[in-house]
Chains A and B, each alone.
Chain A
Amino acid sequence: GAVVSQHPSRVICKSGTSVKIECRSLDFQATTMFWYRQFPKQSLMLMATSNEGSKATYEQGVEKDKFLINHASLTLSTLTVTSAHPEDSSFYICSARDTEIYGYTFGSGTRLTVV
C-alpha cells in the first residue's frame, strides 16, 4: 500500500533556530500533501496544503513566514519551522492523498521540542 515517510521522528532544537521536517511519498506521486499540527490529547489541525510546483495554501491563523512549506517534487514536501520558540513545540504530521486507495495516507509524525 501507499507509504508516506516522515523524518525526523523526533527533534529537539534551541529557541531561535530553524528545523526542517521532510515528508516523502515512497511508492506513489503526490501532487498534494497536507501538514497538520496536533496538540496533546487534541485532534489534528490542518496548517497548510502543499501543492507541487506552486505556493502552499495556508489555513487561517497559520503564519506562512514561520512555517515555510516547499513541495519541489511529486514525492517530497518539506516544512521548515523558522526561528522556533517553545510554543511551536508540538506533534507535526504530514499526509498525502493517494488516488489509488481513494484516501489519505499519513506520515508517522514528528515530535518537535523547542528548548
Chain B
Amino acid sequence: GDSVTQMEGPVTLSEEAFLTINCTYTATGYPSLFWYVQYPGEGLQLLLKATKADDKGSNKGFEATYRKETTSFHLEKGSVQVSDSAVYFCALSDYRDDKIIFGKGTRLHILP
C-alpha cells in the first residue's frame, strides 16, 4: 500500500541554519503531497502542499517540490528560527480512498 518515509529526528540546528527534512513516498496512483507542522500541545497545521508532479509548495519560508522521478517531497528552509521548533509530518493523500497517510514525523529543535 501507499506509504511515507521521512528522516528520523530529532534534528537540532542553530538559528539561521539551512534546513532539509527528507521525505519519500510510495504510491500506486498520483497522490497529493503535504507537509504539516505540529507545535507542542497543538493539533496539526497545514504548512504547504503540492498536487501534481513538479509543483512547488511554499509557505512561511518553507518550500518543497513534488519530484515524481525520485518520489520525494523534501522540506527546505533557508534560514530557520527558534519559532520553527516543532514536529513536521510529511503526508500523502490519494483521494481514491479518501485517506491521508502520514510519515512518522521529524522533531526539529532550533537553538538560539
Say which one of B21-29, B70-78, B103-111 lies at the interface with A.
B103-111
Cβ 8 A contact of A107, one of B43, B46, B102: B43
Q: Which residues of A contact B45 (CB under 8 A)?
A: 106
Interface residues of A, dominant DSSP: strand
- B13 interface contact, C-beta 8 A: no
- Does B98 sit within 8 A of A, measured CB to CB? yes
A24 on the interface (CB 8 Å rule)?
no
Asked if A102 and B44 make an inter-chain contact with CB atoms under 8 angstroms apart, the answer reads: no
Interface residue tally for chain A (C-beta within 8 Å)? 22
Residues of B participating in the A interface, judged by any CB pair closer than 8 Å? 32, 34, 36, 41-46, 49, 51, 89, 93, 98-100, 102-105, 107
CB contacts (< 8 Å) of A108 on chain B: these are: 42-43
- CB–CB A42/B99 < 8 A: no
Distance between Cα atoms of A101 and B44 in the complex (Å): 15
Instruction: Tell me whether A103 and B42 are in contact (CB under 8 A).
Output: no
For residue A83, give the distance in angstroms from its CB to the closest CB of chain B.
26
> Does A43 touch B at the CB level, under 8 Å?
yes
Interface contact B43-A6, CB-CB below 8 Å: yes
Contact yes or no, B98 A109, CB < 8 A: no
CB distance from B84 to the nearest CB of A (A): 18
Q: Would B102 and A103 count as touching, CB distance under 8 A? A: no
- Which residue, B49, B100, B107, has most C-beta atoms of chain A within 10 A? B100
B103–A103 contact, CB under 8 A?
A: no
> With A43-B89, A44-B89 in contact, do A104 and B41 touch (Cβ < 8 Å)?
no
Shortest Cβ gap from B96 to chain A (Å)? 13
User: Do B46 and A43 touch (CB < 8 A)?
Assistant: no
Q: A41-B107, A43-B105, A44-B102 are in contact. List 12 more A-B contacts (CB 8 A).
A: A32-B98, A43-B89, A102-B32, A102-B49, A102-B51, A103-B34, A104-B34, A104-B46, A106-B44, A108-B43, A109-B41, A111-B41
Residue A49 CB within 8 A of the other chain: yes
Contact yes or no, B98 A49, CB < 8 A: yes
